[in-house]
Structure formats: C-alpha cells, structure tokens
Chain A
C-alpha cells in the first residue's frame, strides 16, 4: 500500500514551509532514519526523516517549492506494511557556520540631548514587504552599524542564528565580539548586560523568551530601572531587554505568559510592545538609541507575519506615542501587540453589522499615551480593552482606571476588558483555544457596550 508523506509541522508555530531539497528520488529504497528532504521553516532548515522502510513512489511537490502548507502530501511511499509517519530530525540540517567576521566601521555615537524625532516616509517612498522577524534584525543591524557601542548577547544569538532566527546574519556581519552567545544563565547575563550599560556600552540582551527573564527580573528592575534615580541622574543604564513575550502555540503554562503588566508597573523602565514590522523596526531602533533601560516585548506568533515597511535610511518611530490603526466613531478598542491584529479583525466583522470601531494600538506601555486613549474615548464614548494576557492587574485594568479617573464624563457605557481566561495556559489544543482571546470574543464584548442599531 502507498503511504502519504505529508509536509510536517517542524515547530509549534509553523503553518507552511519551503521544500528546499529532495535527498531521495522516485524509486529509491529508504529505511527508517534516512533523510528524505530538507525543509525550511520560518526559523531553521530542518531534516525530514523516514520512520519506516519502503520505496519512494511519486514525488508530488518539487524541490524549491515555497509556501507548502503543513499537511500537504509531498510524496508517496510504497512497500512495507504498517503506518509510516515520517518524523522530523531533532537538529537543524545545516549547522550555522561562523564565517570570518567582517569588521563593521561603526563609531561611538555621542549621546543626544533630545529623543530622535519620528522619521516620516517621504511621499512616494517605496514600500517593501518584510516580516516582523526581519524588521527586528534590520533594526539591530542598522544600529550596530551606526554605533560601535551596540552589541547583542543572549542564548543562541550568534552561531545558531537566533532561536527564532531574529539575529540571523548578525554574527557574519559584526563578528563574535559584538554578537555574543551566552551560556544558559539568564540572571548572570542580564547582570552582565546591565553592568556593561553602566560601563558605557549599549547592550541588547535577548531572552529566548520573556518567560526565562523571570530568572533575571532582579537585574531588570533593581539594577537597570532604578539606577538613574538612585544615583541622582548620574549613572545611566541604556540597555534593551528583548525577546518574545505572551502565548505561543501549545507550549504550556511555563512558556506562555504576557509580562507586559509586570514591567509596565515599574517606574524607570520604558516598555514597548510593537505589533507590525514597521513598528518593530522603528521602535527597536528608538529603544536602542534611548538613554533609558527598555523592555521590548515581541510576539512569537507575529514574527513570521509580513507587513509593508517604507524603505528609508533611518526608519524611527517615537517611543510613547500610540497610533490609530482604524478610525471609527461608535466605540474604541484599545489594544497592543498581537491583540492589534485580532482587534482589526473584530472591527471588520463589526463594521458589517454597522458598528464602526476605532482601534488604538498603544505600542508603548510605559510611558502610556494617555492622551491618545482619552481623545478617542471623547470621540466614541465607549471603550473595550483587548489584551492577550490575564485580566487581573493588567494593562487593561490600567486603561479602565484611566477612563474612570480622567474620562468619566465621556463614558456612555462601562469600559470592558476582554483578556485571556484567568488560568495558567493549558496544553490541550481545545482548552488552549478556550483560554486565549480572539477576534470573536473582542467583537462580542464590543456588542455588549454598543446599542443595537435599528
């Protein structure tokens, strides 16, 4: 009987991949453990391995095919009995080599007195499509070229090219002095990064995920955030802590938490949570240039999404300014990070029902752009806060408090929160789905505060 070999999911978030190379041809006999093909995911190139013996029947997807959906039949295997399910090998096919570093001619940038103004795309400037992952990498690379004090350190950032490929190519361009693999030692390297910032450098400290930054949170809060204040403005700590934050897919409770409210509660920190590629790049560049310690919260599920980005020499987005993603007059949905995509989706559904929702992307969570929230509230008089995170003591709670304290007269309905369920994130697919916020829940919550239109 012929068995179908299907495009495998090689990471928790993989939805499609590139069939880079076939290592077998039709008619080849294969046995368990043979490498059949190389498949490129959004993170790495992986080997696709046979589990059972048989003969390759038809190859249905040619090598070089991009965007092959997980589950697509890519070949058939004939011969032996039993169910044959190929499994991915555990390691990457091509270990990243570390080529001789090319010296980057960056020099030290003198501190600027004022924050850099927002760069606006010139009219008619070209737009290009990039993923959030590429935008983040480009931001780091551009700032490393600009300022020799900037370096990046973390687990697997150099030779492995980044656990989520965000630092891909940096080692090649900047060399091991400025792209530094650390041992698995979050508390220690967060302290070293913070100390290096105190010593005048501009570290970018990558946490493989912010879940692991819990081991290092002492340095983020006690060492980095409080230094400038405790020293009477004498000792700065311009460090960027970045990495993926929030729920990924099917990785369970210890790997799925949104720490935004934790960091946003701490004076002395700047906390940024971008949504799309343009913000990821422009805000990360601002974060690296900032004289303050910055917690930069990315989202793994958004890394692979593509967005348009203006092609500019210096794409800078100012810290502390929210943006209106969609204008509307009936209700405001305040959100950030991955919630932005869900809110826009919900707004589209609501528009079909005659409800025009304004969607505000907070972008920076500390300092919070209160004026943007209150201005929109004054316009729509109704508000829902959508947050991929727990509801208790959340950014959503903060927005509700802000509206009570400073926007009470503009309120025609209570401000409602729509967040994840107040439980540790479960593993089972169905339970995980129930626990997490989605566009439908946002739309449903908005309907509660909007009167039915006749």
Chain B
C-alpha cells in the first residue's frame, strides 16, 4: 500500500459533524429525487435524446465535492452529469429546464442532458465524448497551475472511459508536469452493457496510474463518509503540489446506462441486493437516526426536497422553448 492508501485506512470514514452529515444526506436525496423526476419526465416525452441518471452513485459526487473549495476548484465530468452539478450547488431549476430543452435552461436549451456548464460555479461540463473530459480536465488543471490560483481540478470518468487512450496520454502529462488534478474513476461495474471483467485487463482501476507514478486509492463509493475521507487525503496531496492522484470509486447505478437501456446484462437480484444493502442514502439516513434525528424531521426534509424538485419540474415544463432565431446565436463569439 502506498502512503495515500495508508493515510486513508488510518481514518477510513470522515468524522462528520451532525450538521455536515445532514447536508450530505440532503444533497444526496436531492440528486435521487431530481433524477427520479427526470426519469418520469423522460417517460412523458418531455425530455428527449440521451438521459443518463445518477441514481445509486450519489455518495460519490457529494462526498468528493464537499472536500473542494467551490471558489477555486474546478469540476469536469462526462455525460452523466446532473448529480455533479447539483452537488456543486447549481440551481435544480436551470438543470431541469435544460433537460426539457427550454430557453431558461443552463445552456439555453442548446446543450441538453450531456452538455451543461456553469463557469460561475466552476463546473466545466458535461461532455458527451467518452474520455474527452480527462484531457480537458488536465487542461483546467494546467490553467490552475499557470495562473497560480491555488485551485485544483476534479475530473470524473467511468470504468468504460478508463480504457480510452487519451486518458493515459493525460495521465502522463499530468504526472510529468505535476498538474493539480484528482482523477476520479466512477466504477459502476458496467460500461453501458459491458461488465468490467469483460472489458478490462486490470479491473482494479486505482492501479491504472501506476505506470505514470500516480498514486491510486480504492474507495467505497457507496458510503459518503468514506468518500469524503478519501477526498481529504487526495485534496491535501494534490494541493501541496505533488501532482495528480487517481481515485477509484466503487459504486453502482440502479438504472440502465441511459433511459433507453433495458439493462438485460445484469440480474434483477444483483440490482436489488445493492439497493437493499448498500444504498448510500439509506446508509446516511440510518446514521442520522442513530445520532438522534427523528423520523419526523427526516420526513420533513424529504417533503422539502420533493417540493424543490417539483418546482424545478414545473419550471422546466412551463418555461418557453428557445425562440427560433436562437438557432443561429453563439455559433461564434465574434463577428468577422
């Protein structure tokens, strides 16, 4: 085990205050309820195209991003991006309105589920090409270092993207130039329909940086406090100018790869087992109750979050589509 793994195993779970734990719980629940609603709206035909839900993986984005400094650290991910945006405090209304393709959407209706950005929140997408966000994230990290702004980049990608060549090109340069970046592999077990063991010669993804001397850490991605503890170790290491860290977050998605995926490649029992025994939200809820939180208080929270999501959905359904002339705007920034 290398130093980072030892540091993590010394304190595998973050000692969250009640307030912090409650916040993690609320954020995870918001993502869960948001995604459930997005799934419904998809079924109603209000959301089109590809829509990849984050249900089951909530603890990853919430735990990791809680360790970042939103004022200076950038985040970038692939197409399964709703959860990362919500975890970075972006208004659910403008995300949902983007999913329904409305002018009030965060990309003014021109991006859709896979292409959302918020420079204000240092969220740089939302990228539809598998693996592209890894090189782009290394570029964001390059910019942090160039500007000497003290920030770092967190670049998320999946177990599927981990087999793309540019990931390793980026690992090489990030390590060579000691870029401030945390590479996060969200290993949910399946690259669309292909199980990890059918696609990957090395299924322990945290080892994938070894050839570039990038330290790796395997992390239980179903426990928000374990995730946060690992994030602290990684952030401290990267912030100190040591170069990149590779985190493998072992997680699970309950839904199909996208809304159009029947997920025939795995058994119902496998999914049910994860839901029943490893759900990150249930887990946090049990812990809150153990710490003395009442069931009524938790119900109130659930009610409040449902109301927030309903308001976002109403907003997304009722706000107008982009005006036709918007078709031609923002192709280029300047006029020539």
Please report A residues at the B interface, Cβ cutoff 8 Å: 114-115, 151, 177, 182-183, 185, 187-201, 218-219, 222-223, 227-236, 238, 267-268, 270, 290-292, 318-321, 364, 367
Contact = CB atoms under 8 A, between A and B. Distances in A.
B170 interface: yes
Nearest to B74: A199
B211 to A, nearest CB: 13
Interface string B66-92: 000000001010000000000000000
Given A187-B166, A201-B147, A268-B331, 8 more contacts: A183-B176, A185-B172, A230-B117, A232-B107, A234-B119, A235-B124, A292-B334, A367-B332
B136 A195 contact: yes
6 contacts: A189-B173, A195-B124, A201-B146, A219-B132, A230-B111, A364-B336
A185 B330 contact: no
Contacts of B106: 232, 234
Contacts of A192: 135-136, 138-139, 142, 170, 173
Interface size of B as a range: 35 or more
A147 to B, nearest CB: 13
Given A151-B146, A196-B146, A235-B124, A188 B140 contact: no
Contact of A198 (B140, B147, B335): B140
Interface string B231-252: 0000000000000000000000
Nearest to A321: B336
B172 A188 contact: yes
B143 interface: yes
Nearest to A231: B117
Given A218-B132, A228-B331, A232-B110, A182 B142 contact: no
A288 to B, nearest CB: 13
B69 to A, nearest CB: 16
A177 B146 contact: yes
A197 B136 CA distance: 9
A446 to B, nearest CB: 30
Given A191-B166, A232-B330, A196 B108 contact: no
Q: Which 4 A-B pairs have the closest CB atoms?
A: A195-B139, A191-B135, A188-B169, A199-B143
A271 to B, nearest CB: 11
B133 to A, nearest CB: 9
Given A183-B172, A185-B173, A199-B144, A267 B331 contact: yes
Contacts of A218: 129, 132
Interface string B102-127: 00011111110001111100001101
Contact of B330 (A114, A188, A196, A233): A233
Contact of A223 (B108, B129, B333, B335): B129
Contacts, number: 159
B164 to A, nearest CB: 9
B165 interface: yes
B140 A195 contact: yes
A190 B135 CA distance: 8
Contacts of A185: 169, 172-173
A34 to B, nearest CB: 38
Nearest to A286: B336
Nearest to B112: A230
Nearest to B155: A195
A340 to B, nearest CB: 20
A319 B333 CA distance: 13
B139 A198 contact: yes
A230 B114 CA distance: 10
Nearest to B327: A229
A229 B330 contact: yes
Which of A195, A223, A228, A318 is most buried by chain B, counting CB atoms within 10 A of its CB?
Answer: A195
Nearest to B322: A232
B108 A232 contact: yes
A220 to B, nearest CB: 11
Interface string B153-192: 0000000000001100110110010000000000000000
A287 B63 CA distance: 42
Contacts of A291: 333-334
Contacts of A194: 135-136, 139
A239 B140 CA distance: 13
Contacts of B74: 199
Contacts of B111: 230-232
Given A223-B127, A235-B117, A191 B136 contact: yes
Given A183-B172, A188-B170, A292 B139 contact: no
